[in-house]
Amino acid sequence: MPKAKQTWMYAAAFALVAVGVGYLIVSGISQEAVYFLNVREALAMPAGQKHQARIFGLVLEEGLERPANGLGVRFHLQDKDDSSQVVEVRYRGAVPDTFKPGVEVIVEGALLGREVEATVLMTKCPSKYQKDDQGRMRPPGYVGS
């Protein structure tokens, strides 16, 4: 086979592989894309469209409802910086022990307007460590140098 024909075949094969890999990357990113927003940013999303989003904020005491079977919760999530910005969250799974009014949470699910149908509910854990006199992070009750 002439050398020019081999070069053309290698270039064509490389181009096909590059296009295939590029397609896989683009389709994977678009399917797994989830916005990470605060409540204010979530409310600024275009109305009437359903978005997958991960939203963080503070749990409000008012509107907090737990079903009798103990699974799931319905609550209002407030923006940390603007208390007038609130979304309603419905979650139907196991609720973390640290979930309570005033705690920071992250919910992930379908956002439609001012409502979130959450599939994931995570609470922000308070730090187990405290600063010592020199500003170093130490566990509570730590005795040492």
The type of residue at 91 is: Y
Q: What is the pLDDT along the chain (145 residues), one digit of tens a residue?
A: 566 678 888 888 899 999 988 887 777 665 556 678 889 988 888 877 777 889 999 999 998 999 888 789 999 999 998 989 999 999 999 998 889 999 999 999 998 888 999 999 999 876 555 566 666 655 555 566 5
Beta-bridge partners for 111: 51, 116
Distance CA 84, CA 104 (A): 16
Q: Taking the domains of the chain in order of start, what are their residue ranges?
A: 1-31, 34-123
Query: Cα separations (Å) of 137 from 80, 126, 133, 140, 143?
Result: 25, 14, 10, 9, 12
Q: What is the CATH number of domain 34-123?
A: 2.40.50.140
Q: For residue 62, what is the DSSP state?
A: T
- Which H or E run contains 59? strand 51-59
Supply the pLDDT for residue 143: 61
pTM over 0.75: no
Query: Cα separations (Å) of 89 from 63, 129, 130, 132?
Result: 10, 31, 32, 39
Supply the pLDDT for residue 55: 92
